Amino acid sequence: MASHRRTIDRRNFLKLGAVASGVAVGGCGTPEEATTATSTFEFDYRPLGHTGLEVSEVSFGAHGLDRPDLMRAALDAGINTFCVSGNYLDGMEEKALGEAMSALGSRRDHIVIVTGNDIRPGMSLQRVLDDIDASLRRLRTDHLHVYLTSDVRTPEDLQVDALYEGFERARDAGKVGHLGLSSHAGGMQRLLNAAIDNGHIEVFFIKYDFVSYPDQDAILRRAAELGIGTMVFKTNAGNRQREIEDLEAGGLSFPQATVKWALTNQYVSSVSVSMTNFDTIRQYSAAAATPLSSAEIAMLRRYADEMYDRYCRFCGECEASCPRGVAVADINRFAMYFSYYGREKEAMRRYHALPDRCSAKACNDCTGPCDAACPFGRLVRAELLEAHRLLCFQEA
């Protein structure tokens, strides 16, 4: 692990955040983490689980890869890890990284490549092998350090024998190093726990922020104990900082603070950030090298206070808990059209087009297990009743 500079009490930060927002904010620190939390960090390299790879604490997200000089600046700043995807824009990111790497000469040998593709149940072994070969071709390389099965949403998405067989064949041929999972779906708890138990996954590449699912740190710790390395992205917790007046007053940077926050977790090896210009590279390198300040902690806490229950993470927990099959997500969306987009008639038309059994009429005499199911404290039943009132001009 990296040497450390200054104390960050991660556990206390989260506790304070939880008190302030009235709900459990983000990870729930454990005694072990509290010990870690009294240590500090600096921009450095961290081991990626038991893969043997050392990744830079900040890694280069895909955007900006079409500029070789940006990559060169990133390497100069110490960033050695580059994250792309084979499925996005028909492999355009991989092609850009391949071209950029080809201009780097021997420096490309220091790069850790993380890429992947959407692998779904039912896909054939040949398709998996072809996808890996296509990534190698586009990247102009003969080895991928981490290959991800991308955009995984449910444990069922991991039930793909062809993926594991194909990956092992490719590994035997020296084409790939380690198998990972990429996900930014809401409600990842079930998925990540299943992935830990499945025994094939060596790397997590996941959304991680300070207002998301409460048991995330416990899951990452369990993963780490089994040697699974974790890289994270989307640390911005919904990226809605502009909605809070003066949040970044005094020269603070919300995105940089969220990166620092993520790096206080010893189980997070690297934070992937989109690097679109030279300034971004310098700023994030500097951010990773400096500790989270009290002003930044206050900023994150304020964001958590104000935003925690104001947005839906699309986790689907509420819908799954509904005993009557109410179309929770659809109804909330129609209510959004009605309330925020001036499309009242359309919203009402769509609501009325729902099968009767899926409408929020059923919520009136329900005990509202959806409220308890929402991991983020949203009052789902009340929102549905309000939506029904709006969309029908009548009480449920």
Partner 1 sequence: MKARHLWRVAVLAALVACAQETPPGPAGVELEDLLPEAFSLEGWRIAEGPTSYTPDTLWEYLNGGAPRYEAYGFERMIHGRYQLGDDPLSSVIADVYDMGSELGAFGIYSSIRPPDATFQSWGAEGYRSGTVAAAWRGEAFVHVVADDERPELIEMTQLLVALVCDEVTGSVSPPAILQPLPPEGLVPHSERYEATDLLGHAALGGGVLATYEIGGSRGELFFSELENEAAAREAIQAFRREKERWAEVEDAPDGFRFQDPGAESGTVVRTGRFVAGVHGDLSFEAQGGLLERLIERLGS
Contact predicate 118/89, CB 8 Å: no
Which one of 4-12, 219-227, 229-237, 381-389 is the stretch in contact with partner 1 (CB under 8 A)? 229-237
Residues 51-80 that bind partner 1 (CB under 8 A): 61-64, 67-70, 72-73, 76
Tokens of 241: 């900082």
Output the smallest distance, CB 226 to partner 1, in A: 25
Q: CB 246: neighbour CB atoms within 10 A?
A: 9
Residues 131-170 that bind partner 1 (CB under 8 A): 150-151
Contact predicate 84/64, CB 8 Å: no
Nearer to partner 1 (CB atom), residue 23 or residue 206 = 206
Give residues with Cβ within 8 angstroms of 132, minimum separation 6.
117, 144, 147, 166, 167, 170, 175, 176
Q: How distant is the alpha carbon of residue 312 from its chain centre?
A: 15
Contact predicate 37/265, CB 8 Å: no
Contact status: 253 vs partner 1 (CB under 8 A): no
Residues 317-346 that bind partner 1 (CB under 8 A): 333, 336-337, 343, 345-346
Classify residue 111 by its DSSP letter: P
Contact status: 354 vs partner 1 (CB under 8 A): no
Nearer to partner 1 (CB atom), residue 212 or residue 266 = 212
CA distance 202 to 146: 9
Nearer to partner 1 (CB atom), residue 70 or residue 385 = 70
Q: Please report, for residues 39, 234, 317, the alpha-carbon distance to residue 185 in angstroms, rounded to integers and kept in the order given.
A: 31, 11, 12
User: Per-residue string for binding with partner 1, 13-42, x by CB under 8 A?
Assistant: ------------------------------
CA distance 114 to 116: 7
Buried b (16+ CB within 10 A) or exposed e, 70-100: bbebbbebebbbbbbbbbbeebbbbbbbbeb
Contact status: 47 vs partner 1 (CB under 8 A): no
**Helix, strand, coil % (nearest 5) of the chain?**
50, 15, 40
Among 32, 90, 133, 168, binds partner 1 (CB under 8 A): 90
Output the smallest distance, CB 154 to partner 1, in A: 13
Contact status: 234 vs partner 1 (CB under 8 A): yes
Output the smallest distance, CB 363 to partner 1, in A: 22
Among 1, 159, 190, 314, binds partner 1 (CB under 8 A): 314
Q: Which residues bind partner 1 (CB under 8 A)?
A: 61-64, 67-70, 72-73, 76, 85, 88-92, 95, 103, 105, 120, 122-123, 127, 150-151, 182, 184, 186, 233-234, 236, 238-240, 272, 274, 276-280, 311, 313-314, 333, 336-337, 343, 345-346, 349
